[in-house]
Structure 1
Amino acid sequence: MTNDPIEADPDGMRRAAHLFEAVSTRTNRILTNLEGGSPGEPWGQDDIGTKFADGDGDPEKGYRRGRDNMFSSVRALVGVLDENAVQLADGANQLEQADES
């Protein structure tokens, strides 16, 4: 381990935080549009439509399960992006406060 100084750019960290916020906002907007989707179920209620939507005896393989899992994953991603933005902005503030003291 060396004693080399660590350099940080608080303004750059804030710019990165804003980028994370922008990506989060856009991703959330896309997710909201996808979740709203079109009304109804275009695959129908016949045997083929039911197999497509709910899997052929295995709900894990159906469209609905995959769709719901994707929505859940993207919601989690939005949360991670938001948290990264907060952490970067907070870190920038803490670095500046440490330099001032």
Structure 2
Amino acid sequence: MGPAGDDIQDQGKAKGKKPGKGTATGRAKDGKLPPGLQKRLDRGEPLPPGLSGRPLPPGLTARLGPAVPGTERLIAGTDVVLIEKATGIVLDIVRDVLKGTSK
């Protein structure tokens, strides 16, 4: 390719995202889980690989009270998930709790 072709390739590279930038692992831009992870998030199953849940905000934790010892509540997309810490098994899911809330 000539110099003009090289310029087009360079422009495409400049527009691409750099590694480590963008959304957090396991989350889509709109706060929902990507469809593949959403399908694999199920009660009685381990937390899907690649899904990094976030801790609940302190205000919500205060309203719910402490989690049962040995468990942890996480935000996964718009869902709140209760997992067993030792195994990572999903014990319960409250779907779309955070739908329409701002971060």
TM-score over 0.5 for the pair: no
If the length of structure 1 is used for normalisation, what is the TM-score?
0.25
If the length of structure 2 is used for normalisation, what is the TM-score?
0.25
Looking at secondary structure, tell me which structure has more helix per residue: 1
Looking at secondary structure, tell me which structure has more strand per residue: 2
